[in-house]
Amino acid sequence: MEKKKRVLVGLSGGVDSAVCVIKLLEAGYDVEGMFMRNWDSSLNNDVLGNPHTLDNVCPQEVDYMDALTTANELGIKLHRADFVLEYWDRVFKYFIDEYNSGRTPNPDILCNSEIKFKAFLEKANQMGYDYIAMGHYARIKHFEDGSLEVYRGLDKNKDQTYFLCQLTTEQLKNALFPIGDLEKSEVRRIAKEHNLTIANKKDSTGVCFIGERNFKQFLKNYIPATPGKMETLDGEVVGEHDGIMYYTIGQRKGLGLGGAGDAWFVLGKDIKRNVLIVGRGSEQEYLYSNRCLVSKMNWIGPEIDESKEYLAKFRYRGIDYKANIHPLGDGVYEVVYPGRAKAVTPGQEAVFYDGERLMGGATIDSVYMDQEKRCL
């Protein structure tokens, strides 16, 4: 790392970003922090499903005070930026539109491409910083010719490159990930060694920048519930759902279907008829696929080689599948994974690797077993 360069750290109030500051200071950088406020519950009608409506201080302000405490303890300046409008327009509207269409989006990916590495980056550039840094568990190599390579974080349980798959080389060229070479336990240890107040603070969970919610109730704030039928693959009506957007592919709990025999689970969604397709037992085979079509491809590695076997990940906590990628034209790609994968879901992201190196990602549009399309 070059010394005496100015770095703006996205300081969230959590332990990961705090240790980013420590590592950068140790490396000789001129470091300051910025806290991002991206969600306003009262302005955004975040009432149903929100466990904090009666709190005296909202969680965002608690996080800001934690970030301010950390900044003071580490002797750096803390700025504050409001991206509530940007988050709503660039992330949340898409999030709701996708659920309205019956798909399952991943807001964390858009949070990175539209807020952390766009709105935040633009603000940092305006303020004259050389780099931005985030507390992601990812590794990045910058080369003298301006090229770069992104690799999975050393801590395989915390690796977050999946969520970085839509970032361009332009967004990444001045980005640093100071804790990518650390295990989470080491991050905690460093925070304790520096006597940080937030050293034992729990990691944030829930929707990106929004937090923990009763998700079904939360969606009702923005999407009217439209009840419909639950049907088996052969068309038998076995129950009713209270809104197709509330269910995910492969879901087993909360269907309200009982009776003797194997448990029920969600096989797919028939959006046109507002029907939830369910099954049990051997019908679980319907959840498997061996190819999918994707679009909105963002590729940061060497040009796609159709003969090369990449690794594909179809969900954050999912396993890697060996896969070939074939351009079909008009921005559409076929991804073939002979080993079969379970519950590959439209709206989610297919993320591609060459070993440990992140190559890019694309949005899943449709899913097939051989030539048969799944109604996912």
Q: What average pLDDT does this structure show over 297-315? A: 97
Picking from 50, 113, 72, the residue whose alpha carbon sits closest to that of residue 298 is 113
How many whole angstroms separate alpha carbon 67 and alpha carbon 244? 39
Question: Using the 8-state DSSP alphabet, how is residue 116 labeled?
Answer: I
pLDDT classification of 375: cutoffs 50, 70, 90: low
* CB 321 within 8 Å of CB 339: yes
Residue 211's pLDDT is: 82
> Does residue 1 have a pLDDT over 70?
no
Domains in the chain, ordered, with CATH? 6-215 (3.40.50.620), 224-285 (2.30.30.280), 287-373 (2.40.30.10)
Closest listed residue to residue 295, CA positions, set 241, 249, 247, 360:
360
* 111 classed as catalytic: yes
pLDDT confidence of 254, banded at 50, 70, 90?
confident
Active site residue: 20, 58, 165, 208, which one?
208
Half-sphere exposure of 22 (CA within 13 A, CB side): 21
Q: How many whole angstroms separate alpha carbon 177 and alpha carbon 48?
A: 36
- 209 pLDDT band, cuts 50/70/90, is confident
Q: Which residues contact 169 (CB under 8 A, 6 or more apart)?
A: 147, 148, 300
Tell me what pLDDT residue 2 has.
47
The helix-helix angle for 15-26 and 184-193 (nearest 10°) equals: 70
Cut 0.85: pTM above it: yes
The rounded mean pLDDT for the chain is: 93
Average pLDDT over residues 275-290: 90
What confidence score (pLDDT) does residue 302 get?
A: 95
- pLDDT grade for 376, boundaries at 50, 70 and 90: low
Tell me which residue has tokens 């050293």. 199
pLDDT tens track for 44-87: 999 998 888 888 888 889 999 999 999 999 999 999 999 999 99
Task: Tell me if residue 208 is catalytic.
Answer: yes
Asked whether the beta carbons of 211 and 51 are under 8 A apart, the reply is no
Expressed in percent and rounded to 5, the helix, strand and coil fractions of the chain are 25, 30, 45
Residue 258 confidence (pLDDT) above 80: no
In angstroms, rounded to a whole number, what is the distance separating the alpha carbons of residues 91 and 326? 29
Tell whether the torsion through CA atoms of 234, 238, 240 and 245 is positive or negative. Answer: negative
Query: How many residues in total does the chain contain?
Result: 376
User: Which pLDDT belongs to residue 371?
Assistant: 85
Residue 126: phi and psi, rounded to 5, are -65, -30
Q: From the candidates 20, 58, 111, 292, which is the catalytic residue?
A: 111
- Contact criterion met (CB below 8 Å) for 233 and 282: no
User: Which of 339, 337, 314, 343 lies closest to 324 in space, CA to CA?
Assistant: 337
Residue 104, pLDDT > 90, answer: no
Provide CB contacts within 8 A for 228, sequence distance 6+: 240, 241, 244, 273, 274, 275, 276
pLDDT in tens, 212-234: 888 889 999 999 888 999 999 99
